[in-house]
Every structure is written in C-alpha cells, then in structure tokens.
C-alpha cells in the first residue's frame, strides 16, 4: 500500500510505502498518530483523524478498509474508494472489502482545501 500526499498546489509532497501480510488479524492504519499509524500525512493536516483508516485482514485472508469515526460528529474530510474504474464515496464509519486481486486507492479529501491523501492498494489473488 502506498500513501501519496499532495500539497495544495497539486504537487506531490511525499510518498510512503507500507505492506502487511495477508494473515488473519493483520492491521495497517492511516492517520496523524505516528505511534499507531504506519502511514501518516504531513504535520498539520488536521482533516485527517488521528487514526483515520484501518485496513484489517479477516479470518478468510480478505482485507477490509474502514473509515473510523473520530471525535467529531461530522468529519473534516470525505473518503472515496477508487477501484475497477469507479469512484464510490465511503460513508463516515463505513467499511469496504477489497476483493482478491483487487487494485485501486482510497482517497481522503480535505473538505475545505485542495489537499488529498491517496492510499493505493493491491490485494494478491
């Protein structure tokens, strides 16, 4: 999985790489809390929660991504899953199962600015 963080101007600010084995119980988190999350945006990007996304491998080896609810009733961002040529909004607190052999990205959009965090994924068949 890769996280590409774009600056407000649209230029790439940085790219981080992380992977996790497809073993039941494996977890990979995305968010501002660098003690918990393996993928984190630049400092000060408050539209991303402390722990925003959780990728979790289930007992069957399938991965699910969940947009974790934060401390606020309304989020500061929108999240979309881009896969198989479609872009689907993810509901706040919602989950999506990555199909085996699936590729795409989960995009966190700042609601008040042009910043995004793009987390690419590939789930081996």
Residue 6 pLDDT: 45
Residues 6+ apart with CB under 8 A from 31: 37, 40, 48, 49, 50, 51, 52, 53
- Opening angle at CA 121, ends 54 and 22, nearest 5: 70
Dig out the tokens for 73 from the structure.
């009733």
Q: Note if the pTM is more than 0.75.
A: yes
- 66-113: per-residue pLDDT in tens? 999 988 899 999 999 999 889 999 999 999 998 888 889 999 999 998
CATH number for 21: 2.60.200.20
CA 23-26-51 angle, 5° bins: 160
Range of the domain at 31: 2-122
Q: For residue 13, is pLDDT > 50?
A: no
Question: For residue 17, what are the β-bridge partners?
Answer: 2
Which token pair is 100?
């085996």
Total count of domains within the chain = 1
């Amino acid at each position: 999985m890769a996280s590409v963080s774009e600056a407000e101007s649209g230029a790439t600010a940085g790219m981080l790489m992380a992977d996790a084995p497809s073993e039941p119980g494996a977890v990979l988190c995305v968010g501002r809390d660098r003690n918990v999350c393996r993928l984190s945006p630049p400092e000060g990007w408050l539209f991303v929660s402390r722990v925003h996304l959780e990728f979790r491998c289930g007992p069957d080896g399938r991965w699910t991504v969940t947009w974790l609810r934060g401390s606020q009733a309304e989020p500061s961002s929108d999240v979309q899953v881009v896969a198989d040529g479609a872009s689907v909004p993810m509901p706040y607190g919602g989950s999506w199962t990555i199909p085996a052999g699936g590729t795409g990205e989960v995009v966190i959009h700042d609601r008040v600015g042009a910043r995004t965090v793009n987390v690419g994924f590939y789930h081996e068949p």
